[in-house]
Amino acid sequence: MDLNWLEDFLALAEQKNFSRAAEARNVSQPAFSRRIRALEDWIGTPLFVRGTQGASLTRAGLHFLPSAEDLMRNLHRARRATRTVGERETGSLSIAATHALSFTFFPGWIRRHMRFEALGTLNLISDSMEACEQIMLGGEVHFLLCHSHADVPTRFEEGRFESTRVGQDLLLPVCAPDARGQPLWPLPGTPGRPARLLAYSPASGLGRILAAHQSRNAEASGLESVFTSHLAATLMTMAREGHGIAWLPLGLVEEDLARTRLVRAGPNISDIPVEIRLFRSPDCRNHAADELWSRICKQGSDII
């Protein structure tokens, strides 16, 4: 029995198509089909009805499906629990952080709160907000560090995932200056010359915050989206080169503003105040994580 066979079975039960399921499992279709056949041989009965319209579960397959799902859940739970026991001995700490905070906020913040010599290993995973949420929900990290706004909910169940404010930031509309030092793309844009927006992709947490802000403000009507990325650093580079306006964290653009590589594209009313929050996993715990959380709580942060 190969664990991959169970994962293949669940993928095919969901996709109901050998080609799509093989693609989701990142294997060739012939190899995928052989593994499904191997599972059926091991169990001793067909699990799928093959047809021109795809694959559907047999009665035996329907009977096996909940058992396969439970087995995979239990295996992953056992893996997390075992890893947690091992991490208690090594003192390792895993933190997921969005790209912008990994670059600007995290290094100084973690240095203030943790003694590196007391840690076995510090593992920082930097990714988009969507990917970080998935990692956190899977119980693969102790903490998630991200920008947060009261009007933008996260995927974390309130009451189960504790969080605390560890800092604050501003999203500022910035663009390159023209020859006179004025914004090349001033806000608000006009119907004849709409301001060019360098936008965040849906995977970005900052993009969610900006979308919520713009849905309540008239300035969005004068914006034309011309470029999309989930990386604030990429949008900053595009803004420097004169391609449009980007709402960027103050912590990221402070030096560029001081050196006039970027200028404000609009008045202060266009700024978006945001929090920097640390979310704690209910499933991934060890003494290093407990120590970090205790240090932060002692400083009087806003715990919810």
- Which amino acid is it at 233? A
What is 168-274's CATH number?
A: 3.40.190.10
Q: Which residues pair with 198 in a beta bridge?
A: 227
Where do the domains of the chain lie?
A: 3-86, 93-162+280-298, 168-274
Note the pLDDT of residue 181. Answer: 92
Output the CA angle 38-49-25, nearest 5 degrees. Answer: 50
Q: Looking at residue 85, what is its pLDDT?
A: 64
Q: What is the pLDDT of residue 219?
A: 60
From the options 1.10.3470, 3.40.190, 2.40.30, 3.30.1360, give the CATH code of 93-162+280-298: 3.40.190
Give how far Cα 145 sits from Cα of 68, 100, 103, 127, Å. Answer: 34, 10, 12, 11
Nearest CA to 203 out of 272, 290, 133 is that of: 133
CA distances for 120 relative to 1, 124, 147, 286, angstroms: 36, 13, 27, 12
Tens digit of each residue's pLDDT (9 = 90 or more) over 45-77: 999 999 888 899 999 999 999 999 999 888 877
Strand 143-148, strand 272-280: pairing = antiparallel
Fold of 3-86: Arc Repressor Mutant, subunit A (1.10.10)
Q: Where is average pLDDT lowest: 10-24, 26-40, 82-96, 275-289?
A: 82-96
- pLDDT tens-place string over residues 242-271: 999 999 999 999 999 999 999 999 888 889
pTM: 0.67
Note the pLDDT tens digit of each residue in 115-158: 655 555 788 999 999 999 989 988 889 999 999 999 898 888 88
Distances from the Cα of 81 to the Cα of 140, 169, 170, 185, 283, angstroms: 11, 36, 38, 53, 8
Which pLDDT band holds residue 300 (cuts at 50, 70, 90)?
Answer: low
d(CA 301, CA 163): 10
What local confidence, expressed as pLDDT, does residue 158 receive? 81
Establish whether domains 93-162+280-298 and 168-274 are of one fold.
yes
Q: How far is CA 91 from CA 128, 143, 144, 202, in A?
A: 26, 14, 18, 35
Provide the pLDDT for residue 117.
52
Count CB neighbours of 96 within 10 A: 26
Most confident among 7-11, 291-295, 296-300 (mean pLDDT): 7-11
